[in-house]
Amino acid sequence: MPKTVGIGVTGGIAAYKIAELVSKLKKEDIDVIVIMTEAATEFITPLTFRTLSGREVLVDLWDDSREWKVQHIGAAEQLDLLVIAPATANFIAKVAHGLADDLLSTIVLANTAPLLVVPAMNHNMYKNQAVQDNLKKIKDYGYTVMDPDSGDLACGVSGQGRLPEIDHIYAEIKKLLCPRQDLSGKRLMVNAGTTCEDIDPVRFIANRSTGKMGFAIAQDAAARGADVILVCGKSPLEPPPEVKFVPVWGAEEMCEVMQKYQPACDIIIGAAAVGDFRIKAMAEQKMKKANDASEELVLTLVGTPDILKTLGKNKKPRQVMVGFAAETENIVANAKKKLETKNLDFIVANDVTMEGAGFSSDTNIVTFISRDGEIQSLPKMSKQDVATAILDKVVKLL
């Protein structure tokens, strides 16, 4: 039975690009219902979409519909997926707060199918805290949000805010319409975030990791049917609701927890930024500030457990293990050493000094290095897309 996708077009300059998306979907025999806001009609005409989709284009909440008794309810009930592209800051705010003052926003509220939101706007608008809070809110609702691309924007500035390439939106639509379950029946454990090593009861040593990469892996693995255990150090992120979340603090605790769960796992992925050193002797009381700026404080550090190396020694037959190598020099050579010493099936190497890669970034630039010597370099992509590529490779190994 053909799938039906609703394409909600809001009033952004990127609206004209959605004509290509509608055409691409129709060529795949996917039925498309286009819903436009009044602002969207200032950028591209309903006639264009009506010609490409072969259906009437929905714009006015108060129009009589020949197809449905109640237009917004009937249209919503017919959808297998609803896509908002481009999604403006204004419309994202409507979705986040449940406003329904036009046809598209009422269809969003009546819709029970998966919802894909594709933001596109000025860089400063996208980074505005109110917009980021609204995007977080709709993610918490369970909606899928694509990260905008970076580059030159129509307003003349450069930055993150461009509509993703149509091929990327199309791929996300296909993934949501036909979700893969190629990890069904498998148990995957991934670690994420930064470990923390206490100096005294107040202070600790950590690093810049936010956990975005590990969280993306956990989320994608769960969507593909895996039973997921997310062992997480310090991170500002909210864990995906569909995973088993195990919070930890230091490297020793993370190692102990992962050893506990290892025997029951088919896949283990080490994405956490585990600290290499801890304080030899933690102070029992808060250390007081020096009176003289020239006074020195010397901390004695000792090594922390090498978690993946420890797990690698106890690796079961047919258990797939993947590690990360965040490097600043000799990327491939250093990654190959870790691949061998930790008994991994492949390692994901990246240069954290590169723009668009490393800690806190929404994107990453990685190279896969396999045990058989194969090296595969990937272009800059979102961490969610990197997670998908990693799991695709894991599935092949399984």
Q: What is the pLDDT of residue 225?
A: 92
Query: Quick one: how far is CA 364 from the chain centroid?
Result: 11
Q: What is the pLDDT of residue 62?
A: 80
140 vs 157, higher pLDDT: 140
Long-range contacts, stretch 262-265, CB < 8 angstroms, 24+ apart: 262/189, 262/311, 262/314, 263/316, 264/187, 265/187, 265/188, 265/189, 265/229, 265/319
CA trace torsion 28, 29, 31, 34 (10° rounding): 40
d(C-alpha 263, C-alpha 315), whole Å: 8
Q: What is the pLDDT of residue 214?
A: 95
- CB environment 242-271: b (16+ within 10 A), e (fewer): ebeebebebbebbbebbeebbeebbbbbbb
d(C-alpha 280, C-alpha 282), whole Å: 7
Strand partners, 368: 348, 376
d(C-alpha 377, C-alpha 369), whole Å: 9
Residue 346 banded pLDDT, cuts 50, 70, 90: very high
What are the boundaries of each domain within the chain?
Answer: 4-177, 187-397
131 vs 287, higher pLDDT: 131
Q: What is the pLDDT of residue 61?
A: 84
Q: Judge whether 309 and 228 are in contact, CB under 8 Å.
A: no
Residue found by looking up tokens 């000792």 in the block: 302
Question: Per the residue annotation, which of 155, 178, 196, 255 is the catalytic one?
Answer: 155
pLDDT for 353 beyond 80: no
- Provide CATH code, domain 187-397: 3.40.50.10300
DSSP state letter for 250: S
**Residues in CB range of 279: below 8 A, 6 or more apart:** 197, 198, 199, 205, 299, 300, 301, 302
- Tell me the three state secondary structure of residue 362: coil
Q: What is the pLDDT of residue 268?
A: 98
Residue 339 banded pLDDT, cuts 50, 70, 90: very high
Q: What is the pLDDT of residue 337?
A: 94
- Tell me the three state secondary structure of residue 363: strand
pLDDT for 53 beyond 70: yes
For 180-229, the pLDDT digits (tens) are 899 999 999 999 999 999 999 999 999 999 999 999 999 899 989 999 99
Amino acid at 253: E
Region of residue 103 (phi > 0: left; psi between -120 and 50: alpha; otherwise: beta): alpha
- In terms of residues, how long is the chain? 398
Strand partners, 172: none
Residue 80 banded pLDDT, cuts 50, 70, 90: very high
CA distance readout (Å), 252 to 264, 275, 305, 324: 20, 10, 6, 19
Query: Quick one: how far is CA 122 from the chain centroid?
Result: 21
d(C-alpha 211, C-alpha 360), whole Å: 8
For 99-156, the pLDDT digits (tens) are 999 999 999 999 999 999 999 999 999 999 999 999 999 999 999 999 998 887 777 7
Q: What is the pLDDT of residue 31?
A: 94
pLDDT for 341 beyond 80: yes
For 372-381, the pLDDT digits (tens) are 889 999 999 8
Q: What is the pLDDT of residue 330?
A: 84
pLDDT for 382 beyond 90: no
Q: Do domains 4-177 and 187-397 have the same CATH topology?
A: yes
Query: Both tokens of residue 347?
Result: 């390692």
Q: Under CATH, domain 4-177 is a member of which superfamily?
A: Flavin prenyltransferase-like (3.40.50.1950)
DSSP state letter for 157: -
152 vs 45, higher pLDDT: 45
Residue 69 banded pLDDT, cuts 50, 70, 90: low
For 12-36, the pLDDT digits (tens) are 999 999 999 999 999 888 999 999 9
For 254-272, the pLDDT digits (tens) are 999 999 999 999 999 999 9
For 299-330, the pLDDT digits (tens) are 999 999 999 999 999 999 999 999 999 887 88
Phi, psi of 297 (to 5 degrees): -120, 125
Query: Both tokens of residue 163?
Result: 């509509």
Q: If we measure between CA atoms, which residue out of 397, 345, 351 comes closest to residue 369?
A: 345
Q: What is the pLDDT of residue 43?
A: 96
Mean pLDDT of the chain: 92
Whole-number percent of the chain with pLDDT over 70: 98
For 161-176, the pLDDT digits (tens) are 899 989 889 888 988 9
197 vs 332, higher pLDDT: 197
155 in active site? yes
